Amino acid sequence: MIPRKTAVQRRGAIDGENLSRAVSIQHYFSSRLLAWYDGHARDLPWRKSRDPYRVWLSEIMLQQTRVAAVLEHYRVFLKKFPTVEKLAAAREATVLALWSGLGYYRRARMLHAAAKKVTREHGGRFPETSLSLHQLPGIGRYTAAAIASIAFGEPVAAVDGNAERVLSRLFGGHHDERATWENAQDLLDRERPGDANQAMMELGATVCLPREPKCLLCPVSELCATRGDLPRISKAPPQTKRVIHFGLARRSGEVFLQQRSSKESLMPGMWELPPLTGDQHGQALFSLRHSITITDYSVRVTELAFPDEHAGNWIASSRLPALPLTGLARKILRKIEML
Ligand code: SF4
């Protein structure tokens, strides 16, 4: 179906032209973009399947997380939970343990809650429209549209950060959220909506890069209003630096860990080495770096002389792989080869 008023018309680029002209622009855009995608898309495991469970899992894992970090987690997660029913039946601690290293643990909890809902209320079958997917825990507008278009072929645009950047450059200006989604919807290929959405995002991830778009390689550069020449209105917030200390105590195959309170806003219920305050730490055994969102941490790990003075438990190294560890705890335990 042809949109009643295309984005190209909205921005006035073809004022006075008739609808068929707009349609042909849309068709040209789609065919160029999809041909490029067919030949250049990265070979990623979640692109081999249209199974809604796998599409959903990859979309949740990829939120605010690099593809390289997701690849191994995706493989291990699917091996452990090959179906939504298996995931729904798992203990939360097991789900969090497998999520460890991806960060933003609320996603894992929402994922688990959504799996239970799909199993309990939908007989293990995912709802097939973006509107009904949107009702599941942890599924926002973008994720609902991505799953609906990729798994079920619903002609609905999905706009993530990459697609938003491409659209703003294509249309030559900063648009509000509503206009951006309308523009995406107008350009969407109705025959292959899932591929079209992925193609737009892939273009943003590999060609229309934030700092230096590779316009010479862009399949739709002829239709682009800016060719990368759009002034930036927002700058990434500056990274802040912090030094933090943790205590390490080991004894014959065990390590002393403590569990974060369930009331913590960050990583509630996850396990970590006991954090130390200013007067508790001595000479560092070793240091490492760790980044969370806009903070770069310099992490100093000190011998913990009196672990019993801290709340916590001795944990056997054989239990560590199944324990929901913070990403930093996992990093430290790998460094000392307990994981
Ligand atoms: Fe992005 Fe350049 Fe392509 Fe425009 S021409 S969409 S700025 S890569």
**d(CA 169, ligand 1 centre) in Å:** 6
Number of domains in the chain: 2
Is residue 59 among the annotated active site residues? Answer: yes
pLDDT, tens digit (0-9, with 9 covering 90-100), for 269-300: 899 999 998 777 778 899 999 987 778 899 99
pLDDT, tens digit (0-9, with 9 covering 90-100), for 316-326: 999 998 899 99
Rounded to whole angstroms, the Cα distance separating 191 from 148 reads 14
Mean pLDDT of the chain: 89
- All residues at 6 or more sequence positions from 270 whose CB lies less than 8 Å from its CB, including other chains: 96, 100, 105, 259, 260, 324, 325, 326, 329
The confidence score (pLDDT) of residue 15 equals 44
Ligand 1 atom nearest to CA at 225:
4
Indicate whether 31 belongs to any domain: no
Ligand 1 atom nearest to CA at 220:
3
Are both 248 and 219 inside the same structural domain?
Answer: no
Are both 131 and 213 inside the same structural domain?
Answer: yes
Are both 159 and 248 inside the same structural domain?
Answer: no
Q: How far is CA 275 from CA 110, 230, 311, 312, in A?
A: 27, 45, 11, 11
Asked which of 21-25, 98-102, 238-242 is least confident by mean pLDDT, the reply is 21-25
Q: Is the pLDDT of residue 22 over 50?
A: yes
Q: Is the pLDDT of residue 1 over 50?
A: no
Q: Which of 201, 162, 207, 167 is nearest to 184 (CA)?
A: 167
Is 189 or 279 the better-scoring residue by pLDDT?
189
Q: Residue 290, class by beta-carbon neighbours within 10 Å (0-12 exposed, 13-18 middle, 19+ buried)?
A: middle
The residue from 197, 223, 249 where one domain ends is 223
Q: Which two tokens stand for residue 305?
A: 């002389």
**d(CA 160, ligand 1 centre) in Å:** 16
Per the structure, the complete domain to which residue 248 belongs is given by 240-335
The confidence score (pLDDT) of residue 271 equals 93
Ligand 1 atom nearest to CA at 215:
2
| Residue of minimum CA distance from atom 1 in ligand 1 | 208
Pocket of ligand 1 (CB under 6 A): 166, 169-170, 207-208, 213, 215, 218, 220-221, 224, 226-228
The predicted model scores a pTM of 0.77
* Catalytic choice (17, 59, 72, 212): 59
| Residue of minimum CA distance from atom 4 in ligand 1 | 227
Are both 308 and 190 inside the same structural domain?
Answer: no
